[in-house]
Amino acid sequence: MAVMNIREAIASTLYSEMERDENIIVLGEDVVGGNGTAGGPEAIGGIWGTTPGLWAKFGPDRVIDTPISESAIIGAAAGAALCGKRPVAELMFADFVGVSLDQLWNQMAKFRYMFGGKTKCPAVVRLIYGAGMQTAAQHSQSVYAMLTAIPGLKVVLPTTPADAKGLLTEALRGDDPVMFFEHKTLYGVKGEVPDGEYRQPFGQARVVREGGDVTVVACGRMVSFSEKAADKLAADGVGVDLLDLRTTSPMDEDAIIESVEQTGRLVIVDESPPRCSLAADIAAMVTERAFTSIKAPPAMVTGPHSPIPFSRTLERAWVPSPQKIEDAVRRVLGFR
Amino acid sequence: MQLNRDELLQAYRQMATIRTFEERLHDEIKTGEIAGFTHLYAGQEAVAVGICEQLTHADKIVSTHRGHGHCIAKGCDVKGMMKEIYGRAGGLCKGRGGSMHIADLDVGMLGANGIVGGGAPQAVGAAIALRLEGKGSVGIAFSGDGACNQGTTFEAMNLASVTKVPAIFVFENNHYSEHTGDAYAVGTDKDIASRAEAFGIKSWRANGCDFFDVFSVFGELLEYVRAGNGPAAIELDTERFYGHFEGDPQRYRGKGELDRIRDERDCLKAFRARVTEGALLADADLDAIDAEVAQLIEEAVAEARADAMPDNDTVADDVYVNYY
């Protein structure tokens, strides 16, 4: 096993998968970078550093710098996927879903169904998301719930380097459109990554820890925040079952239900406003499927119903914190 | 441009099939048996056929909400299309798509599209894929004077220009985007093709009511794109014989306009006149095709009516290749 961070895990997986499968192409803004400048191609590369060396190795027909045209990026990925390619399209910020939503929602997601199951659209869209870098209201959002709500799309959120490799490989080997969310604050997270071919199937939550007193369900950056809360709770003798969803579509409902049936208490942590959120979705699902098992109302730890602010202190106030998660756990444990 | 007898007969057969298909739908929709939105292509047949007769199944097209003509011209099964429009189990898309979402990837038809302007970026993606294949195949976006105002179309043209892929933008100007005229809605003192030229895309213009002009001009364009010169565009001046959708009262039309365009701009009449005057084909040849086509459409409607409705248990099938 090699130790690397999530950025390196994604970059190396893209590279090795492109070596393996000549149908994989990469397109997006500055995935090469430097085109049309004095510095020339690859003079700088993308701001996230996840596509270095691809252009030099695989050439301009497979690694395509696009203009700032998100609809064209996603639409071109959809068209290429219908023609047998496996495009990896990058949305530099997941917030730009707003510019390209029709191509995701009305086009890519619906082809197979509308066309009677005769088509495949194996496109991977990489969306860099999340708050924590003071990127303010239009560059910080976690729009996974919106895309999870769309039939036809799969939604993936790795939180470890091993999962980044395993889930990206799975996305590139599968035949459905995959929305691959990369949290901008997690790129530097280090961990062991299995060597060679490594796939992590979708719809299997990761059991981060088992504690038995309360179930905490999280995804993305909220997993590590929940671990911090769980550490503090453990010091007080409170045991947390912590689930990292890994994928929200498909979602491992059974893992959530099994844990809740044991603990009877549920906290859902979601880096998102509360309305029509993933947290609300899971709360409803658990209430419907495990009503007789729950001993307290499910608690949702989310941001407020507001855009994400810029100021350092305000942004921290917006994002669900380890303290808020801990408070929510104590609240559901105290419910009688 | 030299078309032999068989090619001329085939071109006429395709145009006549589209016309008869659409005219029959116009009548059948009034019976109430076909619901939803149906946008008829009648009047524009010379465009779809003049272009698609020069393509192979390896060439990909992306169509529009007014897509029946492109589907037929590209080789989609006419009976399967009729069943689809009737919402039947045996439809080309199992009744899931309907009039606005007919596709058949086996013949290079990547899909009609209910979103105006939705298809152009996909044609560029197809062209990106086809360039990698290296066989000279092309990706074509059919658009109208409506879609030419969508940002997706601009983005697609720019991306094609930047990447120099074999994408072709076909602008069928039927002069109406829904109920609004191109004189109002297309903001230019030039034409639509000039917009493509602004992106550095070589552009052509043709009479979209004249099969021979479409065939000839597009043939030149296609040779240019197949040779690896990058994207191209063509604007075709054409006419829509029916409304935006079936049921459109068309109060925006000028007095006598519909009669005039049917008299003066009917591509089927023009084709017949050209080939019979030039002694390329006889009236009897064309009449025989008309009879064949009438029979085909008659059967298509009868078989569509007789076909089963889709099984309700399939309502959520085929959303994914595999989910869990």
* pLDDT for residue A44 is more than 90: no
In this structure, the answer to whether residues A247 and A133 fall within a common structural domain is no
Domain boundary among the residues A131, A158, A193 is at: A193
Residue whose token pair is 């995804």: A219
In a domain, A74, yes or no: yes
Would A277 be classed as within a structural domain?
Answer: yes
pLDDT value, residue B225: 98
Assess whether A170 and A55 both reside in one domain.
Answer: yes
A87 neighbourhood in chain B, CB within 8 Å: 125
A68: domain CATH number is 3.40.50.970
Instruction: Quickly state the pLDDT bin for A336 (edges 50, 70, 90).
Output: confident
CATH number for the domain including A249?
A: 3.40.50.920
- Other CB atoms within 10 A of residue B229 CB: 13
Q: Please state, as a whole number, how many other Cβ atoms lie within 10 Å of the Cβ of residue A335.
A: 12
Domains of chain B by start residue, with CATH? 5-306 (3.40.50.970)
- Claim to verify: residue A86 and residue A218 sit in the same structural domain: no
Average of pLDDT values for A19-28?
Answer: 98
Q: Which residue of B has its CA nearest to A85?
A: B129
3-class DSSP state of B231: coil
Longest dimension (CA), chain A: 68
For residue B1, the model assigns a pLDDT of 60
User: What value of ipTM does the predicted structure carry?
Assistant: 0.95
Q: Do A321 and A251 share a structural domain?
A: yes
- Angstrom distances, CA of residue A44 to CA of A41, A49, A75, A186: 8, 9, 26, 21
User: Is residue A237 domain-resident?
Assistant: yes
Mean pLDDT of chain A: 97
Contact A116 B319 (CB under 8 A): no
- H/E run at residue B62: strand B60-62
Q: Nearest-CA neighbor of A89 among A19, A198, A172?
A: A172
How far is residue B68's CA from residue B217's CA, in Å, rounded to a whole number?
A: 23
Asked if residue A198 belongs to a domain, the reply is no
Share of chain B above pLDDT 90, in %: 99
The answer to whether residues A149 and A76 belong to one domain is: yes
Asked which of A193, A222, A252 is the last residue of a domain, the reply is: A193
Which residue of A lies nearest to B101 if distances are taken between CA atoms? A114
Burial string for B176-209 (b: 16+ CB within 10 Å, else e) reads bbeeeebeeebeeeebbbebbeebebbbbbbbbb
Q: Does residue A305 have an active-site annotation?
A: no
Clarify whether residues A56 and A178 are in a common domain: yes
| Average pLDDT value over all residues in chain B | 97
Verify that A172 and A239 share a domain, yes or no: no
Q: What is this structure's pTM?
A: 0.96
Residues in chain A closer than 8 A to B323 (CB atoms): 154, 176, 203, 250
CB within 8 Å: B93 and A116: yes
- Return the number of CB contacts < 8 Å for A and B: 166
Q: Which pLDDT score, from 0 to 100, does residue A132 have?
A: 97
Task: Search chain B and give the residue with CA nearest A86.
Answer: B129
> What local confidence, expressed as pLDDT, does residue A45 receive?
81
Mean pLDDT along residues B279-302: 98
Are A249 and A128 in the same domain?
no
How far apart, in whole angstroms, are the C-alpha atoms of residue A94 and residue A272?
Answer: 13
Last residue of a domain, one of A193, A215, A238: A193
Nearest to A333 by CA among A214, A216, A165, A206: A214
Sheet holding A63-65, edge to edge: A63-65, A24-28, A86-91, A124-129, A178-183, A154-156, A247-249
Kindly state the average pLDDT of the residues A180-196: 98
Task: Please name the residue that has the structure tokens 């700088």.
Answer: A44
For residue A280, what pLDDT is reported? 98
Q: Tens digit of pLDDT for each residue in A132-146? A: 999 999 999 999 999
Residue B172: pLDDT band (50, 70, 90) is very high
Residue (of A238, A197, A209) closest to A328 by Cα position: A238
| Out of A75, A111, A116, closest to residue B125 by CB | A75
Confidence of residue A46 (pLDDT cuts 50, 70, 90): confident
Identify whether the C-beta of residue B124 lies closer than 8 Å to the C-beta of residue A79.
Answer: yes
How many domains does the structure of chain A reveal? 2
Q: What's the whole-number mean pLDDT along residues B207-230? A: 98
Amino acid at site A95? D
Specify whether A183 is located in the same domain as A299: no
Whole-angstrom distance, CA of residue B225 vs CA of residue B235: 16
pLDDT at residue A166 tops 90: yes
Q: Are residues A218 and A243 in the same domain?
A: yes
Residues A244 and A285 in one domain: yes
In one-letter notation, the amino acid at residue A122 is P
> Is the model's pLDDT at B308 over the cut of 80?
yes
Q: Are residue A140 and residue A109 in the same domain, yes or no?
A: yes
Residue A200 lies in a domain: no
Domain of A317 in residue numbering reads as 206-334
Residue A90 lies in a domain: yes
| B308 phi, psi to nearest 5 deg | -70, 155
For B227-284, the pLDDT digits (tens) are 999 999 999 999 999 999 999 999 999 999 999 999 999 999 999 999 999 999 999 9
Percent over 70 (pLDDT), chain B = 100
Closest CB from B62, B158, B317 relative to A67: B158
Is the predicted pLDDT of residue B56 greater than 80, yes or no? yes
